[in-house]
Chains A and B, each alone.
Chain A
Amino acid sequence: MRDKEGEGTDMQNFLLSSLTTSPRGNRSLASQLGYCFVVILVVLIVISLTITSAYTSVLEQDRSDALQTTAVTSAFAISHSALQEGMKFPIPVSLYMIDGHAYTYTVNIYTKAGNSFLRVYTSKPADTVTSNQYTLDGAGNEYSKAFEMQEVVVTSRSDKSGNFVAGVAPVIGQEGTVSGLVEILMPESDFHAAESGLSVSWIFTMISIAASLSIVYFEIHKLITTMLGKPDRQLPKIIRYGLSGCHSISFFSAMACSMPPLVIVSYLISASKSAELPPSIPVAAVILLGGFLFAAGFFGFSTLRMLFVRRFTTRISLIFSIFAAFVLLLISSIFSNVYIYLLLLLPIGFCLGMVFYFQREYRIYASRLGYEEYSERVIHNTQYTGYLLGACVGAIMAGIIYERFGLLAVSVICGSILLIVGIQALLFVQHCPPSSSPPLHLPNYLYALVSKKSGTFIWSCVTTAGIQLAFYFVFLPFFLNKLGFSLATIAFYYLVFSFVGSILVKSLLKLFPNRLNMQGRILISAIFQVSGLLILALFPTAKILVITVIFMGAALGLHEFRWLDFYTDMIREDKQAMAREILERGFASGVILGSVGYGSLFLFDNLQLPLLLFTLLMAVLLFAYPLITLLYSPIRPNTPPSPPEQPYYEPDSPFGSGDPFTQNQDNSNYGNPALQQNDRTSPPDGYNYQGEYPGQETPFYNENRLYGQNRFNTGSTDEREGDNRR
């Protein structure tokens, strides 16, 4: 009894407390997000149902009209002729259109037989009709009315073969009186069908819209909270606003930068349809060119970027690039000329690429400050999460705004978001000197590529990851456009990719830590990527694309940004300073090659065969590194040692001889950084990196990663505030 009383009081208290205390903090934010998602989804579903209902009735009216007119023309065609078994229908049976396919009506001709009607002709194939006499069953009074009152009616009836809607018209016989009926049938499902109604793809698009708008609501909330919050003045300037600031910048920059490339395909296809392009040039070739120009601008010209950043500082370069991008975007959309648009894609890509280059510089500088919570991998993971969420929202925004308001609106919104990024960068990143990495010359890069293991690693793992990025920005928009889907539907695939790569795979890796070394991850990643592409090549449909994206998400989520560490451990110490640039260039080459590769698939009418060949090529690339590691696996007991590889000797190398990119590759602890640490050798004296230019001072910050050790903790307030010497 007391328990019951207690429960009652608890319930009362709970209700009272719910009424008297408003939700705060995370609870409040969660309720806002939930409400935002549910309200948008419900509103979208309701209006979709309303519009479907409104337009389906219009379609049905027209189908009803078509049934009537077809019945009348058929009745005229056989008027004044004898209605009897074995008669021929004098005109071709009419067609109707459902879901883009043409179907024929079924024509039946009846004569009056007592209280019913006897069928004397049907357009159904002979093998589907029984030879017995067929009398009209399941027909209502409408048939009698049509016969007796000489009216044309549209009615529904059912028989053993299904439910139908019928247009019925009387036939005038030889005597000038009604001798029978003509019935034009179409299945009831066809009569009520609507191709543009509430399809599965549209439902997923609506879910993506609701999810993306909730995400952007959350990000704006986070941005305002970070902006209005108090920075930790004990920390150096660059990280005072914490990872929230870094996440916000990456989110909004990805949101803005994903919009222009996603609309390339839609814009060029619509330009081709409106005859802005010469008919002799296939639109796929123009899209290929557009994708290549944007990718080259976005990922190429790293030396020029470095020059800008060192000349004008990172923040000024960023602001300048943002303004330049905004102006170029406006020009390309205001003129609405396809040639100007194509011409400006390269500089637009370059300017947008600067936004990401800024974040690279931020990552490098912040990670070198020595704070464990701001290690490079932590910052990179934070930025990657921001990029993924930003790309999802950017895809929705691009789809919604382009389809509804056109290219100019996309440019204006993209530019506005870029301005927000600029403000964030000025506020959150108050100081960010450019990184002092050595320049990567082409011969060095080529040496790195041709190296047996480390080189194979670059083009097998890193370059292919770049190629797969092109899959999302070149292949997906084109493929979905070909299938007739909205551009906004891409966001659904991005969300699936993000969920699998960033949540599912990461959770599994956390649940089972240390189960997979890097080589295992690379092998599984290769298997996933090839499987995903293969099933898409065999069944190129939107449903199969979901499976492909799941595989891709799992494959690209496995590496967890360990490539740089892995690669750095693979090469000789004197070349480790170049490792980042080598991998970045490998990735950039992959994106540019991928944009060409994926773009060229659509030059062919049939997608399957080129995609199959492309998958084969990808399989060769992806499995190259796992095969190399198998072939050159560490020497095991009871196996004869493999002959030592003759290394390439650089004439002026202080090491005397040796391929700089194969130093550690025959190490038995290869791939295991903990054990490999013991085998490292320091470069000889006098061969340490001495700066990029002759006479340049040694970089202020130690290149070695010493996470958890604050090298600024010297008591000097100047250093705490950030190094302003550059």
Chain B
Amino acid sequence: MPFQADQQNGSESSSAVLKIIVLTLFAVVTAIVAVSFAANHMRVGFEKEYRAQVNVKTEQLAAASSLLINGDEITADPVKAQTKYANVLPAIMIDSMEKNQSRKLYALYAYSGGALTPLLKSSDTGILAAEIPISDWLTAGETNPYIIDNDGQYTVLTPIKDSQNKIVGLFELSSTYTFLNSYGNAVERRVLMSVLVAVAAGISLFSLQYLVPGIVHIARQRRGRY
């Protein structure tokens, strides 16, 4: 009989241990998965919102800038126009890189004979207008801007017209948001690390209610012995 009782106690304690292990593992895994989902869901939502906001801003800025560029000046004296807009455009395109993670890239072209001639550009990389066949979209009557939505960069190509309403130039403005990916990864990583710490601390705190009675019991036994 005592052997049976011992066996029963042994199986009960082993089943309790199994239960604790399985439930703890489950709690940790589900907490991490749930938090990972929540972080990713919010990240995707914010990134979408940010992209939409930056895209509208780029379109608006490109439209306003193209209205400030005088097509007649480009036709009359491209060199003079180049000098003028090399001073004006950087003043308009405030790119506070230390504050704002989204960068602006811009370029101004003269257009004649179906070809583009670069007048000025803010960067050697990321300028797209020269890389795509312009005849694909720039026609005589074209008034709408041409949009290139690549991953991490939103480009608006706006035709510039002279007083005769003839297309004489092109203004290219791009906003890059490649930082979003690294920023999101960093945020998710930090959040997951915090969750791991929080879950570990939570389980430790929770197990106190089971550990403290045991410790108190042992302490009492020792006190009784002495």
Contact = CB atoms under 8 A, between A and B. Distances in A.
A61 B22 contact: no
A44 interface: yes
A21 B67 CA distance: 79
Interface string A264-286: 00000000000000000000000
Interface stretch (B91-99, B108-116, B124-132): B91-99
A224 B16 CA distance: 10
A87 interface: no
A64 interface: yes
Contact of A224 (B19, B54, B101, B191): B19
B68 A55 contact: no
Interface string B181-215: 00100010001001100110010001001101110
A59 interface: yes
A62 interface: yes
A221 B187 contact: no
A43 B209 contact: no
A54 interface: yes
B94 A39 contact: no
A58 B216 contact: no
Contacts of A63: 53
A499 interface: no
B202 A39 contact: yes
A579 interface: no
B191 A47 contact: yes
B134 interface: no
Contacts of B49: 59, 194-196
Interface in A22-68: 22-23, 31-32, 35-36, 39-40, 43-44, 47-48, 50-52, 54-55, 58-59, 61-66, 68
A69 interface: yes
A69 B93 contact: yes
Given A47-B191, A97-B53, A195 B94 contact: no
Contacts of A65: 57, 94, 96, 99-100, 102
Nearest to A486: B41
Of B15, B34, B101, B183, chain A has the most CB atoms within 10 Å of the CB of B34
A406 to B, nearest CB: 12
A54 B42 CA distance: 11
A76 B22 contact: no
A403 B96 contact: no
Interface residues of B, number: 64
B23 A217 contact: yes
Interface size range on A against B: 35 or more
A91 B64 contact: yes
Interface stretch (B24-32, B72-80, B137-145, B155-163): B24-32
Contacts of B217: 20
Contacts of B40: 403-404
A94 interface: yes
A446 B209 CA distance: 64
Of B46, B50, B52, B56, chain A has the most CB atoms within 10 Å of the CB of B46
B141 to A, nearest CB: 21
Nearest to A98: B53
B111 to A, nearest CB: 22
A58 B101 contact: yes
A146 interface: no
A70 B68 contact: no
B86 interface: no
B91 A72 contact: yes
B39 interface: yes
A196 B45 contact: yes
Nearest to A227: B15
B26 A220 contact: yes
B147 interface: no
Nearest to A16: B216
A59 B54 CA distance: 9
Given A62-B100, A91-B64, A224 B22 contact: yes
A209 to B, nearest CB: 5
B50 A43 contact: no
Nearest to B56: A97
A95 interface: yes
A490 to B, nearest CB: 14
Contact of A51 (B46, B48, B91): B46
A100 interface: yes
Given A23-B209, A216-B30, A51 B39 contact: yes
B15 to A, nearest CB: 4
Contact of A220 (B23, B53, B101): B23
A58 B65 contact: no
B71 to A, nearest CB: 15
Contacts of B18: 224, 228
B49 to A, nearest CB: 5
B195 A72 contact: no
B94 A100 contact: no
Nearest to B211: A22
A199 to B, nearest CB: 10
Given A44-B34, A55-B42, A61 B52 contact: no
Interface in A187-213: 194-196, 202, 206, 209, 213
Contact of B199 (A39, A59, A77): A39
A84 interface: no
B204 to A, nearest CB: 12
Given A195-B45, A224-B19, A62 B54 contact: yes
Nearest to A224: B19
Nearest to A402: B37
Interface in A615-656: none
B42 to A, nearest CB: 5
B216 A20 contact: yes
20 contacts: A19-B212, A47-B39, A47-B194, A47-B195, A51-B43, A54-B187, A55-B50, A61-B101, A65-B100, A66-B53, A66-B60, A68-B94, A69-B57, A69-B61, A72-B92, A96-B60, A213-B30, A221-B23, A400-B37, A404-B40
Given A65-B57, A65-B102, A228-B19, 12 more contacts: A22-B210, A43-B35, A44-B34, A65-B94, A69-B92, A152-B94, A194-B46, A196-B42, A196-B49, A209-B34, A404-B33, A404-B40
Interface of B: 15, 18-19, 22-23, 26-27, 30-31, 33-43, 45-46, 48-50, 52-54, 56-57, 60-61, 63-65, 67-68, 88, 91-94, 96, 99-102, 183, 187, 191, 194-195, 198-199, 202, 206, 209-210, 212-214, 216-217, 220
Interface of A: 19-23, 31-32, 35-36, 39-40, 43-44, 47-48, 50-52, 54-55, 58-59, 61-66, 68-70, 72-74, 76-77, 90-92, 94-97, 100, 102, 152, 194-196, 202, 206, 209, 213, 216-217, 220-221, 224-225, 228, 399-401, 403-404, 486, 488
Nearest 10 Cβ contacts at the A-B interface: A196-B45, A55-B46, A400-B37, A73-B64, A228-B15, A94-B60, A97-B56, A22-B210, A66-B57, A404-B37
